[in-house]
Amino acid sequence: MTIHRSRTTAVLAVTASALAVTALTGLTAASASPDGHGDRAGDRSKHRAVTVDIESPSNGDDAGVGGAGWFVDLDLEYEGGLAEAGFTGLQLTGPAGHNNVPPFPGTFSTGKDDRLPGLVVLVSTTNATLPGFSGPGTNLANLFNLTGVTDRSDDGSAEIWDTWIVGAPIAGKDVDTVLTVAVVDDLNHNGVYDDAPPVVPDADGDGDVDRHDLEALGLASNVERVHFRINGAPA
């Protein structure tokens, strides 16, 4: 009787392991994005108030000219609408004479965006030498040039498109890199997603700044990632 029971237990344990492996395999398969865009592994089971999509670059792209001229194009959907997004206005901005001027003024620098203050944009090869840049944890959200509201048809929600044409080789030339984007949770509980940090710390101390370090902050959105290459050749 005892032997029979332990055999049954062993069979059950093996079956459970097989199911666990199957479940893990299923998860791995589900993480591959069918459209070649971002990867939302691990986020599918959890409801999020904000949905982040990376429209450009796509996985496997070899983007840019001389390390610059590549785009980061984002589609952000905020269930709670523009107020909850912390959206403070339309934006058309850039360096030098483009910075914070009409008709759609917005500031331009590294760090938290003045127009979408919950957004975090990281590039894994971001330099630590240019003024304002402190390596892969640097939040690049306030370098975005063009911010507009693309859809308000769903009750109370808002869709925002946000675009950056990278003006200098701030993340290297001829390098493989990873773009990671998310919207930080309402950390100060004022009802607004306006709590993006200027720099994301390496919370788990493993030497990089990635999705795990973002998740340690607390997030309102999925984490979207794209693996691509920055082309260093001239046009």
State the residues that interact with Ca ion by CB under 5 A. 106-107, 113-114, 142, 186, 188, 190, 192, 194-195, 202, 204, 206, 208, 213
Question: In the sheet where 146-151 sits, what is the strand order?
Answer: 50-56, 71-78, 158-165, 146-151, 91-92
**219 or 231: CB nearest Ca ion:** 219
**71 or 232: CB nearest Ca ion:** 71
Residue nearest to Ca ion (CB): 106
User: Least distance from C-beta 187 to Ca ion, angstroms?
Assistant: 6
Look-up: residue for tokens 């949770």?
Answer: 185
**37 or 196: CB nearest Ca ion:** 196
In 57-131, where do the E strands start and end? 62-63, 71-78, 91-92, 119-123
CA-wise closest residue to 223 among 81, 84, 59, 48 = 48
**37 or 183: CB nearest Ca ion:** 183
User: Least distance from C-beta 105 to Ca ion, angstroms?
Assistant: 9
CA distance 25 to 206: 26
CA angle 52, 56, 62 (to 5 degrees): 140
User: Least distance from C-beta 175 to Ca ion, angstroms?
Assistant: 19
**70 or 193: CB nearest Ca ion:** 193
**CA gyration radius, the chain:** 21
